[in-house]
Amino acid sequence: MTEKKAMKSQEALEFRKLEIQGVTYLTTYTRKFENRKNWTKADPKKVMSFIPGTIRQVLVKEGDVVETTDKLLVLEAMKMMNSIYPPAQGKIKSVLVKVGDRIPKGALMIEFE
């Protein structure tokens, strides 16, 4: 690369502030970082799939009152059986999956009242 091209590419860099655990850094952002989906706090009244898979068992129905130790369903992903538990105690408003459903990551499986 010629000296002229190197200087031109350095001039095009735009440094931005990035704060991590209270420390501020000056850095450049990649296009992927700028276009990312921003993080949002999970809704405690919704149980979402954390990985794509197949529903193998549904152990609750609408109207059931569950504790945090009660198993809601079993999700098979990558030949592993994942037991899904509620984030808090509550009453089931709706069950949106059934046995055999193939669901993507981030799919709503169960809603609480």
Whole-number Cα distances in Å, 68 to 62, 72, 82, 96, 110:
17, 10, 16, 19, 14
**Predicted pLDDT of residue 42:** 86
Query: Looking at residue 14, what is its pLDDT?
Result: 83
Compute the residue count for the chain: 113
Domain range annotation of the chain = 3-34, 46-112
pLDDT digits (tens, 9 = 90+) for 6-41: 555 555 678 999 899 999 999 998 889 889 988 888
What topology is assigned to 46-112 in CATH? OB fold (Dihydrolipoamide Acetyltransferase, E2P) (2.40.50)
* pLDDT score, position 34: 86
CB 94 within 8 A of CB 44: no
Which own/partner contact pairs does 83-86 have at CB distance under 8 Å and 24+ positions apart? 84/47, 84/109, 86/47, 86/110, 86/112
How distant is the alpha carbon of residue 3 from its chain centre? Answer: 45
Q: Quick: pLDDT tens for 47-93.
A: 999 999 999 999 999 999 999 999 999 999 999 999 999 999 999 99
